[in-house]
Amino acid sequence: MIDSHTHLVLCDGDEAELVAAARTAGVGRMLTVGMDAETNPAAIAAIERHQEVFAAIGRHPNEAGGFDDSTVAEITRLGGHEKVRAIGETGLDYYRDGAPRADQRRAFAAQIEIAVELGLPIVIHARDPEDGSEAVDEIFATLDARAAGHPVILHCFSAPARVDDAAERGWHCSFAGNVTYPSAKELRFAAAKVPDDLLLVETDAPYLSPQPLRGKRNQPANVVETAKVVAAERGVSYERLERTVEANAAALFGW
């Protein structure tokens, strides 16, 4: 099994123990994701310590304030590391509005350019208020205009109404622990619709622990619980889903 999106530096416990627990659970590869000036170098340090760990480097939309040329230079530099396999997470977050929207848009556009320049997939964060789709719609339009045909991962996929649109564009949809929640019927329906070759699973640890572990901090080993639910929803065995997502991640991240 793989974890296509985690944040090792934010998880509770010793990093080596988290990686070992994931290995014991059958998780052979994981992508730890940087979000700002502190967590990006931490992600680089993690990939140098652990064979199973690879990284994405970027600036989260809620951390987009003050994004400037020096930020571009730093992400580009770190993105050149041999074990950095994606740029992001980037995108738009209109749920929290943790940074001005103009800053979010500027950071998003710049990181698309970096990803295209380096030939790396783009990891997308998209979040809207419960009653809207402005961020998701804008992200789709921006990627269409600036990165048509480029590999995209819609991390923590949460736009079930756009699952067919994502598939038409060849974008990967990665499902996190929230797909296991009893209220997430539309999300599970979307997980069943994603084409085999575009499906991924993740933890987004330490967030979004799957249903059997809700109330506890998440960790990469727990991706197994999410994968079990996705497999059941797709009407396939866990072993078949495991082979599918492992192959997809290997092709996308080259690990």
Which residue type is seen at 76? T
Q: Is 128 left (phi over 0), alpha (psi -120 to 50) or beta?
A: beta
CATH number at residue 141: 3.20.20.140
Cα 146 from Cα 222, distance rounded (Å): 35
Q: How many domains are there within the chain?
A: 1
The edge-to-edge listing of strands for the beta sheet with 2-6 is 2-6, 29-33, 53-57, 84-93, 122-127, 152-154, 172-175, 199-201
CA angle 151, 153, 154 (to 5 degrees): 140
Say what percent of the chain tops pLDDT 70.
100
- Quickly list DSSP for 9-60: GGSSS-HHHHHHHHHHHT--EEEEE--STTHHHHHHHHHHH-TTEEEEE---
pLDDT in tens, 25-84: 999 999 999 999 999 999 999 999 999 999 999 999 999 999 999 999 999 999 999 999
pLDDT in tens, 110-129: 999 999 999 999 999 999 99
User: Which alpha helices (H) appear in 161-222, and where do they start and end?
Assistant: 163-169, 185-193
User: Which alpha helices (H) appear in 86-222, and where do they start and end?
Assistant: 101-118, 134-146, 163-169, 185-193
pTM: predicted TM-score of the whole model, two decimal places:
0.97
Average pLDDT over residues 208-218: 96
For residue 168, give its domain range: 2-253
- Going from the C-alpha of 122 to that of each of 34, 36, 68, 199, 220, the distances in angstroms are 13, 16, 19, 15, 21
pLDDT at residue number 131: 82
